[in-house]
Amino acid sequence: MTHEKKTIGIFGGGQLGMLLAEAAKNIGFETNIYCPDHESPAFKFATNQTIAEYNDKQILVQFIKSVDYITIEFENIPQNTINFIAKSGKLFPSSDAIKISQDRLMEKDFCVENHIATNEYTDVVNISDLSHWNYDKKSVIKTRQLGYDGKGQRVINTKSEAEQAFKEFGNRPCILEEFVDFAIEVSTISARDTHGNTFTYPPSENIHKNHILNTSCVPASIDQKTENTLYEISKKMIKNLNYIGVLAIEFFVLKDNSILVNEIAPRVHNSGHWTLDGADISQFEQHIRAISQLKILNPKLIFKTKMLNLIGDDVNIWKDKNSSKNEKIYIYGKTETKMGRKMGHVNFLEEFKY
Ligand code: AMP
């Protein structure tokens, strides 16, 4: 190792934290995972663990002192906590970038301000705001915050359906957006370091089942021009966010090949799990490198990869099997199998034929 042993603090203890901790360990870092849950998968590879609520100021102070760099594995950490950690100067990505991606309205506004195409939307603070929308076309109402895997969002066709959903979401601030009749969904995983380097992995083609990511395939079935545009948009977003670390961007590609940004995630992402085997450097290592002021690398694509998520009981088919040359199995070790819960994933690899 060329660098001395430093410690990376990671907020969140799920599978993303686990794979980040493993990558950090592999390149010579220690880790401290901060999570309220005693049985977090991320503890498996962590050097240290901090089990506490995210707003426990005393523990936060100790935690910040004990680490050199801090990052997050999920964006829904309370904003007060994000602001508090940010003051240490150790947090990457920045609190501003995290705040934007915690809020669907801010994400969409960011796209518009930066001339990046996104679907039409409007801000809904009160139920009366639902009157300023044209219901001739199908729409989607989404809570601005804390939505994931289809939670806090509903497709609607009429104003009364929108009102019903708004009330069921607890009258929380929402956005109402155009339903997109997309041809395919793709995402990019980009990284930017403190030395000004950026890198974007080849886009993955994503298929969702019940609003949860089911498969991600690389290469995606898009033409070179579309792929190049995705690289351009990704580079523009990561630079304009002044972002350090790995950023995931989800897109809709329409039948005419036009591209709209759906949403962003300020972290490593499920649709980037293919990089664990399909590329020679994973998204997890890139993120650790970027946030610890190392230079990111230029990973190479080594396999065509299809990543399959193991959701709920799907894990039972795979949990006792061993990985093989072409099937790499990852079981997260969560104690309870729940419907809709991500329990593991498999990467299916195929050689490139030239
Ligand atoms: P999100 O949480 O916004 O990523 O939404 C989860 C999934 O729901 C997306 O990946 C899409 O498959 C679908 N979805 C979300 N918003 C829209 C939309 N405006 N039009 C069509 N499908 C959508």
Centre of ligand 1 to C-alpha 155, Å, is 9
Q: Which of 211, 212, 249 to mutate to test the pocket of ligand 1 (most atoms within 8 A of CB)?
A: 211
Radius of gyration of the chain (CA): 20
Same domain? For 171 and 292 the reply is no
What is the structure's pLDDT at 164? 97
CATH code (residue 162): 3.30.1490.20
Give CA–CA dist 33/67, Å, rounded: 10
Give CA–CA dist 4/305, Å, rounded: 35
Domain boundary among 45, 75, 91: 91
Domain boundary among 178, 200, 222: 178
Q: Would you say the CB of residue 185 lies under 6 angstroms from ligand 1?
A: yes
Centre of ligand 1 to C-alpha 90, Å, is 33
Centre of ligand 1 to C-alpha 192, Å, is 26
What is the structure's pLDDT at 1? 45
Same domain? For 77 and 15 the reply is yes
Same domain? For 200 and 326 the reply is yes
Position in ligand 1 atom list of the atom nearest CA 148: 2
Residues of the chain with pLDDT below 70 are: 1-4, 148-149, 354
CATH code (residue 301): 3.30.470.20
Centre of ligand 1 to C-alpha 93, Å, is 25
Domain boundary among 50, 70, 91: 91
Q: Please enumerate in sequence order all residues whose Cβ is within 8 A of that of 32, keeping only pairs 6 or more positions apart, or say none.
A: 7, 8, 9, 10, 46, 47, 48, 49, 50, 63, 66, 67
Query: In this predicted model, what pLDDT tens digit does every residue of 220-268 receive, in sequence order?
Result: 999 999 999 999 999 999 999 999 999 999 999 999 999 999 999 999 9
Centre of ligand 1 to C-alpha 87, Å, is 34
Q: Would you say the CB of residue 33 lies under 6 angstroms from ligand 1?
A: no
Same domain? For 241 and 321 the reply is yes
Same domain? For 271 and 140 the reply is no
Whether residue 200 lies inside any domain: the answer is yes
Q: Is the dihedral of CA 267, 270, 275, 277 positive or negative?
A: positive
What is the structure's pLDDT at 353? 76
Token code pair at residue 19: 């794979």
With beta carbons less than 8 A apart as the criterion, state whether 163 and 126 touch. Answer: no
Q: What pTM did the predictor assign? A: 0.96
Q: Would you say the CB of residue 205 lies under 6 angstroms from ligand 1?
A: no
Whether residue 100 lies inside any domain: the answer is no
What is the structure's pLDDT at 182? 97
Centre of ligand 1 to C-alpha 103, Å, is 15
Same domain? For 196 and 328 the reply is yes
Q: Would you say the CB of residue 143 lies under 6 angstroms from ligand 1?
A: no
Query: In this predicted model, what pLDDT tens digit does every residue of 4-51 receive, in sequence order?
Result: 699 999 999 999 999 999 999 999 999 999 999 999 999 999 999 999
Q: Could you give the number of structural domains in the chain?
A: 3
Same domain? For 198 and 132 the reply is no
Token code pair at residue 50: 């901090």
CATH code (residue 17): 3.40.50.20
Whether residue 219 lies inside any domain: the answer is yes
Same domain? For 292 and 331 the reply is yes
Give CA–CA dist 202/218, Å, rounded: 7
Whether residue 135 lies inside any domain: the answer is yes
166 lies in which domain range? 120-178
Position in ligand 1 atom list of the atom nearest CA 178: 19
Same domain? For 296 and 194 the reply is yes
Q: Would you say the CB of residue 208 lies under 6 angstroms from ligand 1?
A: yes
With beta carbons less than 8 A apart as the criterion, state whether 24 and 8 touch. Answer: yes
Whether residue 107 lies inside any domain: the answer is no
Closest-CA residue, ligand 1 atom 19, reads 179
Q: Would you say the CB of residue 262 lies under 6 angstroms from ligand 1?
A: yes
Same domain? For 57 and 200 the reply is no
What is the structure's pLDDT at 149? 67
- Exposure on the CB side of residue 85, measured as CA atoms within 13 A: 31
Q: Would you say the CB of residue 101 lies under 6 angstroms from ligand 1?
A: no
Whether residue 108 lies inside any domain: the answer is no
Centre of ligand 1 to C-alpha 118, Å, is 12
Whether residue 110 lies inside any domain: the answer is no
Q: Which of 262, 263, 271 to mutate to test the pocket of ligand 1 (most atoms within 8 A of CB)?
A: 262
What is the structure's pLDDT at 170? 95
Whether residue 225 lies inside any domain: the answer is yes
Same domain? For 259 and 332 the reply is yes
Same domain? For 198 and 308 the reply is yes
